[in-house]
Structure 1
Amino acid sequence: MATFVLVPGADGRAWYWHLLVPELRARGHEVVTLDLPGEDSADLDVFADVIASAVGDPGRAARPLVLVAQSLAGFSAPLACARLRADRLVLVNAMVPVPGETAGEWWGNTGQQAARDAYAEAIGRRGTDADFDLRVDFFHDVPAEVTEEAFAAAPQDGPPTAVFAQPWPLAGWPQVPTRFLQGREDRFFPLEFQRRVVKERLGLDVEEVPGGHLVALSRPRELAAALVDGV
């Protein structure tokens, strides 16, 4: 059994994981969730401190500590590994940085926009229909009632500006066993795009899971099974 620390992506809310939490607990695991700060001055180091603070003293538990990072959390969760003495790091539909790269630069450096546009065309979206749409790109496979709950929440201002401006401060990837789970139907970070980026930057093969970008909302049971499989 393990303790899973679930770090949300750009939305920043622990709510993102609310369907996954009971699935993991039903399998006998402990779960820690957290909200990330929204102040514009909060940078990656602040995020890492918040992640570590949510866990408290990692030495208090005998269970392995597994950090799970969704999307943008691929920039902050690796920084928290040393603070927490994490045993494993699992990236889910995540951004993978290289030393000195900002989250703002990542998009152009990796070719994300071209990959996203090509995938949109491949699934029949053309013209204005291919423009980014939060519901179509992110929530296309999320149950309607969950989607409405997400949109009914207080509007989010988006991630802090500092998160996108701070160069990734590590000299290299942390020496922590790392897995990469990628949604097969992710329209924002398409599977083949992620295969290339993850191989180039981490030397890893992605592990496919069913679902789109918000896989914890659309396929929580399948995601839980994949997470537990690696413990």
Structure 2
Amino acid sequence: MFVLIPGAGGSAWYWHRAVSELRARGHEAVAVDLPGADESAGLPEYTEAVVEVIGDRADTVLVAQSMGGFTAPMVCARAPVGLLVLVNAMVPLPGETPGQWWGNTGSEPARVAAAEAGSYGTEFDLDTYFLHDVPPEIAAAGAGHQRPEADIAFNQPCAVDRWPDTTTRVLAAAEDRFFPVDFQRRVARDRLGIEAETVPGGHLTALSHPSQLVDKLVERLPRGR
């Protein structure tokens, strides 16, 4: 079973194209809707929501996008996850908060440097950094699913003592402007000691290139997953 964690805002809709693709290929897939806009709910509540979906399924493939990378190791510490896949994800250190992550990893200088090299705007806006490769009709459909991320989660630690023993893969999109691919590769090497694998698309690759992303998600699955 694939269980998919969205990024900031927590909307399960982000994964809907990948979920459809996975199900069409015969896989069970569930995207978890998180209370991202709720000022009383943060990383512990996100973790609890995902753990409840997994239950006692030992064959779960947990997939986390962007800020979902903070929830994912907390889930792996509590649930029998067989494989963790991080997609354009924040990779936390134990005890680190999302608010600390930006400065600790140097994500902002990396974003600006990539923008200057790529000749697009350095000032963040949704169209330039998130929607530049998303089909217009998909972007329009997603407008009603956008949510803010409440401040509470940014100040809460990734509550694990160490990175879980769960087999982990990192997928980095070649055209990601928010977390540039070279930045993601560096963070994966520095923090996990693994090489990131490249997928097409930008930061929202599950919306822009769902089929190619799912190709990567399933290409090395053990038989029966």
Counterparts of residues 157-196 of structure 1 (less than 5 Å): 158-196=148-186
Give the equivalent residue in structure 1 for 2:122. Answer: 130
Cα deviation 1:50-84 (Å, max 9, x = unaligned): 1111234426xxxx210000000000011111332
Which amino acid letter does the alignment assign opposite residue 115 of structure 2? A
Counterparts of residues 89-168 of structure 1 (less than 5 Å): 89-125=84-120, 129-151=121-143, 153=144, 156=147, 158-168=148-158
Unmatched tracts of structure 1, length 5 or more:
none
| Alpha-carbon distance in structure 2 between the residues aligned to 1:214 and 1:66 | 19
Contact 1:75 1:97 in 2 (8 A): yes
Residue 17 of structure 1 and its aligned partner are, at CA, apart by: 0.8
Evaluate the alpha carbon distance shift between residue 80 and residue 172 of structure 1 in structure 2; reply closer, same or farther with a 3 A threshold: same
SS state at 2:111 partner: helix
Evaluate the alpha carbon distance shift between residue 122 and residue 83 of structure 1 in structure 2; reply closer, same or farther with a 3 A threshold: same
Evaluate the alpha carbon distance shift between residue 58 and residue 82 of structure 1 in structure 2; reply closer, same or farther with a 3 A threshold: farther
Which of the residues 74, 77, 86 maps onto 2:72?
Answer: 77
| Alpha-carbon distance in structure 2 between the residues aligned to 1:219 and 1:154 | 19
Give the equivalent residue in structure 2 for 1:200. Answer: 190
Contact 2:54 2:60 in 1 (8 A): no
Residue 208 of structure 1 and its aligned partner are, at CA, apart by: 0.2
SS state at 1:66 partner: strand
Q: What RMSD in Å do the two structures reach over aligned CA positions?
A: 1.2
List structure 1 runs of 4+ shifted beyond 2 angstroms: 54-59
Counterparts of residues 21-36 of structure 1 (less than 5 Å): 21-36=19-34
With structure 1 as the length reference, what TM-score do the two structures score?
A: 0.92
Of all paired residues, the percent bearing the same amino acid is 52
Give the equivalent residue in structure 1 for 2:47. Answer: 48
Equivalenced residue count is: 220
| Alpha-carbon distance in structure 1 between the residues aligned to 2:198 and 2:98 | 24
Give the equivalent residue in structure 1 for 2:217. Answer: 227
